[in-house]
Structure 1
Amino acid sequence: MLEYADIRGVIPHAHPMLLVDRVVEWEPYDRIVTLKAVTGSEPCYAGLAPGAPRRAFAYPPSLLMESWGQGGAILWMRRVDERGERGGAPILAASRDMTFHREVFPGDTLRHVVRVDQYSGSSVIMSGESYVGDDLVAEIGYAIAVLRPAEELTWGAA
């Protein structure tokens, strides 16, 4: 499927915000399954003091959602590239009906399942789930992503 280096060529994310390690299943235009290994060296854990309680090491739901959304972006951008329509960067614009069932910790490997429910011009509607092993971690009922032209983005601007 796709490894980390391949993924960097599909979506514009880079370390430390590239949150997909591997694509393990692929149904072009319809569905993708990605993996993200959560490690203790994630930037979100950098400021934790020695002896911090276990709960402090729960992976932030915002990063879990970003990782899930990047899987959808990979699926979508492959379609965009095949059609010669690239002209911007994918941005997760909104999500609804999200349920988080359990926390994720360093040592866990997230398996994200993303389905495209509808393509519409420069946007896409997706849904799916995230798992650790067979345990359901999160459900995403509805998420919309949009393509924004690069000149509209202010990466790193203060």
Structure 2
Amino acid sequence: MRLEHGELRALLPHRYPMLLLDRVESVEPGTTLEAVKAVTGCEPCYRGIAEGQPTDRYAYPASLLIESFGQGAAVLWLLSRQPGTAGLPMFTAARDCVLLRPVYPGDVIRHRVRLEQVVHGAAFASGSSWVGTDQVAEFGSMMAVVRPADAIAGARE
């Protein structure tokens, strides 16, 4: 299964500038997902960087890389739930996350997510992120819980 950007918008409550996935390349519900995020120099995180700054100033923020991976995990969980299950997943915790090298404008991040366990309205995922053949991050465990959409201010179902 492949999901284009419009389909991701239908699944996730995130919008610009916080929808941090461009496409899902493949998914096996309940098991794995591979998603893509292209980093561009036009991202809001680069606004305000003065001209002539060294390359390292353009490293993609670690928090956004982690959030992007987490959105991939959320999509995998949403596609894995039983029909009729309601609510939105909310990121709650991350453990054993290792950032191995910076990501820069022009890089295409490929997230490889594994759904490890779903228990009582909580999901656990792990995986890695890659740029080409270089692993840029490892995620030992990420956890999300599901909450009713109407309990989240501004959320939509």
Q: What TM-score, normalized to structure 1? A: 0.93
Match of 2:25 in 1: 24
Match of 2:16 in 1: 15
Secondary structure at 1:52's aligned position in 2?
coil
- 1:115 paired with 2:127, answer no
- 1:45 paired with 2:39, answer no
Match of 1:98 in 2: 97
Instruction: Give the Cα–Cα distance (whole angstroms) in 1 for the partners of residues 72 and 118 of structure 2.
Output: 15
Range with greater deviation from structure 2 (61-70 or 71-80): 71-80
AA matched with 1:23: V
Q: CA deviation at 1:14?
A: 1.1
CA RMSD of aligned residues (A): 1.3
Match of 1:84 in 2: 84
Instruction: Give the Cα–Cα distance (whole angstroms) in 2 for the partners of residues 58 and 108 of structure 1.
Output: 10
Q: CA deviation at 1:47?
A: 1.4
Q: Deviations over 1:120-146 (max 9, x none)?
A: 121100000000001000000011011
The 4+ residue runs of structure 1 with deviation greater than 6 A are none
Instruction: Give the Cα–Cα distance (whole angstroms) in 1 for the partners of residues 66 and 118 of structure 2.
Output: 20
- 1:131 paired with 2:140, answer no
Q: Deviations over 1:17-76 (max 9, x none)?
A: 100001111111110000000000111001111112211100011100000010011111
Match of 1:143 in 2: 142
- Tell me the percent identity: 47
Q: CA deviation at 1:155?
A: 4.4
Match of 2:69 in 1: 68
Match of 1:6 in 2: 7
Instruction: Give the Cα–Cα distance (whole angstroms) in 2 for the partners of residues 22 and 48 of structure 1.
Output: 28
Number of aligned residue pairs: give it: 154
Q: CA deviation at 1:150?
A: 2.6
Instruction: Give the Cα–Cα distance (whole angstroms) in 2 for the partners of residues 141 and 83 of structure 1.
Output: 28
Secondary structure at 2:37's aligned position in 1?
strand
Q: Which runs of 5+ in 2 are unaligned?
A: none
Instruction: Give the Cα–Cα distance (whole angstroms) in 1 for the partners of residues 150 and 23 of structure 2.
Output: 29
Secondary structure at 1:9's aligned position in 2?
helix
Q: Deviations over 1:74-133 (max 9, x none)?
A: 1111223x52112x2211100001111100000000000010000112110000000000
